[in-house]
């Protein structure tokens, strides 16, 4: 057994074992099947101990946070070995076929299609495949969360239709999800995709003659959105305050001017043609193959700013004439070691994965794991994810704040595909294409309107949520228009549910409706519908015709099935994973 968690800093050493259990909410875990007499010392060190067992419904609920929605096999596995061991297996799972390789080899392992010629859609298919079928399910779900932090987007005036665009970026998020955060920000910063999106590709040093200055774009967004945020943070995620009680900005305009110099001189060393290397530009990106796209940025030394750089209250000091990658690494080192980085990233990951409104103690525990994985290593994402997913707050939510988050449309979309096979060609492991994603209004990866993602992590809608000082980022996409897109989009998804011979038979009369409904609700959401709504739905379903001849039977029974699954999915208690 690995020490997944460092000792909890909030934990007082003199607390007696039983009180520590209650403190961690493990008292209620007994109801979920925690073996009696779990050693208290172990619970102290590790909020969700290896011995923790979950029943079927609790396993499905918990998996709803760390996957796109669990398969039957995953639910059984978590019941069998417990969440901690299952998560360890997932975090150590060998990487599934990369998006780049998927495009290159024209399909998933064993299902390559030599006739397929790669195009814009292929990358989309490959990412969907990974989210639906790849065995490293947690890595994919976390990558979707990371794609909403390290945002790049194909939306905009100069979108790139090359199939390999953004492919390598998903792959590097995959690597970062179970790697080290420091390496992740370097991979992101050295990637052609990010350099193109945030415009530091071919960014040049200042030039006296023309008055040209370096592009400031990446220097700003790297700090504001990817590493430390706008305000200095305490380790519980709250804003640090100065002596006068005011929040403290992490950086100012002069820091941006200084750090813009670091991101100069980088270009993409493209493929060779007629013996000449082609540097990336919009006119030749069509020639870029997988290797060129995945290659880290190259440096033109004479375009890198030679001036010394000093920023962030002295945290960054780069002498004159420092080489570009050395300057980049020093900058990333400083941001990585910045006290605001752990809480900024912890809070963002928690909000994208488990709950919009974590307690300060939960944030603190994830921060502790970020700072030290128990072996003195900072930024170990496996330790961070164990802290995120195995926190006691997941198993026994505190009563003083609402635990949970609204699922994104892409999560619902992939859930119905991987759990029930909606719109899937199960044989060939292919999912619906671009046009369907539009019907599902799916917020698929890399389609945010700007680097500020689909929504902002501190969004609170007008009304009770804002008045209570809570946030609900995903509700930014759920105004009346967004609500209807969801309402309709889930319907479009349910049209594609596969009808098996077994289902066809069971749906012939309403006799099995209740059993099917409960089974789906349990698998999709970890709980059955509220009793009153369940009864009302069953009454509606009982009114539906089931078809006499074979053709009518198929359509009409699909209506029963689709209605059931649609109702479960759009139900307010379920659209929020809680």
Task: Write out the binding residues for another protein, residues 245-274 only, by CB under 8 A.
Answer: 247, 249, 253, 256-257, 260
* Closer of 348 and 373 to another protein (Cβ): 348
Among 46-54, 89-97, 168-176, 534-542, the segment contacting another protein (CB under 8 A): 534-542
CB of 216 to another protein, least distance (A): 4
Among 312-320, 336-344, 411-419, 483-491, the segment contacting another protein (CB under 8 A): 483-491
Give, for 255, the enclosing helix (H) or strand (E): helix 253-260
Report phi then psi at 468, rounded to 5: -85, 0
Residues 138-177 that bind another protein (CB under 8 A): 156-158
* Closer of 96 and 203 to another protein (Cβ): 203
User: How far does CA 276 lie from the centroid of its chain?
Assistant: 40
**Residue span 540-569 as binding mask against another protein, x where in contact by CB under 8 A, dash where not:** xx-xx-------------xxx-xx--xx--
* Closer of 72 and 573 to another protein (Cβ): 573
Q: Minimal CA–CA distance to 180: which of 91, 299, 54? A: 91
CB of 366 to another protein, least distance (A): 21
What SS3 string covers 146-200?
HHCCCCCCCCCCCCCCCCCCCHHHHHHHHHHHCCEHHHHHHHHHCCHHHHHHCCC
User: How far does CA 233 lie from the centroid of its chain?
Assistant: 22
* Closer of 103 and 422 to another protein (Cβ): 422
* Closer of 371 and 534 to another protein (Cβ): 534
* Closer of 101 and 495 to another protein (Cβ): 495
User: How far does CA 496 lie from the centroid of its chain?
Assistant: 25
CB of 57 to another protein, least distance (A): 15
Are 188 and 232 in contact by the 8 Å Cβ rule? The answer is no
Among 183-191, 207-215, 266-274, 363-371, the segment contacting another protein (CB under 8 A): 207-215
In the list 360, 404, 421, 433, the residue contacting another protein (rule: CB under 8 A) is 404
- With tokens 């403290």, the residue in question is 248
* Closer of 466 and 500 to another protein (Cβ): 466
Q: In whole angstroms, give the CA distance from residue 271 to residue 278.
A: 6
CB of 117 to another protein, least distance (A): 30
Is residue 399 part of the contact set for another protein (CB under 8 A)?
A: no
Q: In whole angstroms, give the CA distance from residue 545 to residue 548.
A: 9
Give the length of the chain.
578
Are 70 and 63 in contact by the 8 Å Cβ rule? The answer is yes
Report phi then psi at 182, rounded to 5: -65, -45
* Closer of 213 and 298 to another protein (Cβ): 213
- With tokens 């995709």, the residue in question is 193
Q: Minimal CA–CA distance to 510: which of 467, 477, 557, 466? A: 557
Q: In whole angstroms, give the CA distance from residue 265 to residue 190.
A: 12
Is residue 522 part of the contact set for another protein (CB under 8 A)?
A: no
Are 191 and 173 in contact by the 8 Å Cβ rule? The answer is no
In the list 123, 168, 220, 364, the residue contacting another protein (rule: CB under 8 A) is 220
Q: In whole angstroms, give the CA distance from residue 331 to residue 317.
A: 9
* Closer of 302 and 480 to another protein (Cβ): 480
Question: Which residues on adjacent β-strands are paired with residue 398?
Answer: none
In the list 210, 242, 435, 531, the residue contacting another protein (rule: CB under 8 A) is 210
Residues 438-467 that bind another protein (CB under 8 A): 449-450, 452, 456, 459-467
CB of 573 to another protein, least distance (A): 6
Residues 486-515 that bind another protein (CB under 8 A): 487-488, 490-492, 494-495
Other CB atoms within 10 Å distance of the CB of residue 160: 18
Is residue 241 part of the contact set for another protein (CB under 8 A)?
A: no
* Closer of 204 and 430 to another protein (Cβ): 204
Residues 350-369 that bind another protein (CB under 8 A): 356
Give, for 270, the enclosing helix (H) or strand (E): strand 269-273
Residues 46-105 that bind another protein (CB under 8 A): none
CB of 492 to another protein, least distance (A): 5
In the list 213, 239, 298, 528, the residue contacting another protein (rule: CB under 8 A) is 213
Q: In whole angstroms, give the CA distance from residue 537 to residue 553.
A: 20
- With tokens 């979309």, the residue in question is 413
CB of 332 to another protein, least distance (A): 21
């Amino acid at each position: 057994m690995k020490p997944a968690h460092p000792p909890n800093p909030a934990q007082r050493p003199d607390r007696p074992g039983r009180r520590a259990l209650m403190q961690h909410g493990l008292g209620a875990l007994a109801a979920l099947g925690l073996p009696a007499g779990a050693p208290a010392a172990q619970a102290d060190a590790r909020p969700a101990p290896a011995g923790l067992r979950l029943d079927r419904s609790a396993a499905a609920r918990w998996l709803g946070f760390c996957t796109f929605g669990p398969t039957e096999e995953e639910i059984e596995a978590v019941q069998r070995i417990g969440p901690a061991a299952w998560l360890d297996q997932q975090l150590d799972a060998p990487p599934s076929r990369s998006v780049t390789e998927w495009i290159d080899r024209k399909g998933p392992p064993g299902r390559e299609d030599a006739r397929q010629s790669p195009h814009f859609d292929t990358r989309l298919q490959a990412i969907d495949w990974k989210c639906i079928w790849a065995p490293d399910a947690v890595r994919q779900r976390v990558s979707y969360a990371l794609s909403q932090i390290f945002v790049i987007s194909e939306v905009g005036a100069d979108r790139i239709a090359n199939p390999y665009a953004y492919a390598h970026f998903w792959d590097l998020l995959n690597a970062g999800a179970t790697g080290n955060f420091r390496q992740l920000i370097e991979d992101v910063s050295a990637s052609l995709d990010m350099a193109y999106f945030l415009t530091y590709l071919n960014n040049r040093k200042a030039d006296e003659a023309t008055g040209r200055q370096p592009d400031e774009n990446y220097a700003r967004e790297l700090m504001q959105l990817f590493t430390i945020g706008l305000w200095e943070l305490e380790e519980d995620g709250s804003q640090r305050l100065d002596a006068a009680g005011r929040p403290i900005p992490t950086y100012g305009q002069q820091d941006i001017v200084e750090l813009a110099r670091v991101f100069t001189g980088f270009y993409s060393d493209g493929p060779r043609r007629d013996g000449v290397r082609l540097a990336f530009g919009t006119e030749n990106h069509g020639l870029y193959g997988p290797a060129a796209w995945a290659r880290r940025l190259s440096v033109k030394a004479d375009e890198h700013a030679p001036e010394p750089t000093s920023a962030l209250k002295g945290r960054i000091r780069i002498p004159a004439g420092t080489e570009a990658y050395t300057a980049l690494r020093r900058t990333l080192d400083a941001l990585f070691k910045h006290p605001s980085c752990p809480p900024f990233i912890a809070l963002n990951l928690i909000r994208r994965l488990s709950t919009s409104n974590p307690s300060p103690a939960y944030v603190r525990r994830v921060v502790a794991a970020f700072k030290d994985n128990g072996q003195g290593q900072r930024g170990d994402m496996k330790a961070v994810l164990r802290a995120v997913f195995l926190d006691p707050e997941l198993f026994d939510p505190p009563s003083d704040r609402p635990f949970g988050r609204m699922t994104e449309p892409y999560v619902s979309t992939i859930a119905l595909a991987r759990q029930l096979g909606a719109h899937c060609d199960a044989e060939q492991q292919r999912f619906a294409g671009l046009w369907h994603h539009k019907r599902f209004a799916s917020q698929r990866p890399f389609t945010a309107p700007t680097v500020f993602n689909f929504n902002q992590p501190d969004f609170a809608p007008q009304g009770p949520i804002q008045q209570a000082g809570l946030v609900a980022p995903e509700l930014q996409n759920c105004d009346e228009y967004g609500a209807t897109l969801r309402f309709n989009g889930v319907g479009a998804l349910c049209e594609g549910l596969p009808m098996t011979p077994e289902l066809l038979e069971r749906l012939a009369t309403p006799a099995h409706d209740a059993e099917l409904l409960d089974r789906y609700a349990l698998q999709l959401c970890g709980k059955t519908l509220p009793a009153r709504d369940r009864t009302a739905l069953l009454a509606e379903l009982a009114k539906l015709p089931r078809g006499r001849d074979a053709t009518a039977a198929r359509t009409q029974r699909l209506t029963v099935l689709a209605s059931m699954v649609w109702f479960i999915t759009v139900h307010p208690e379920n659209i929020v994973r809680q």
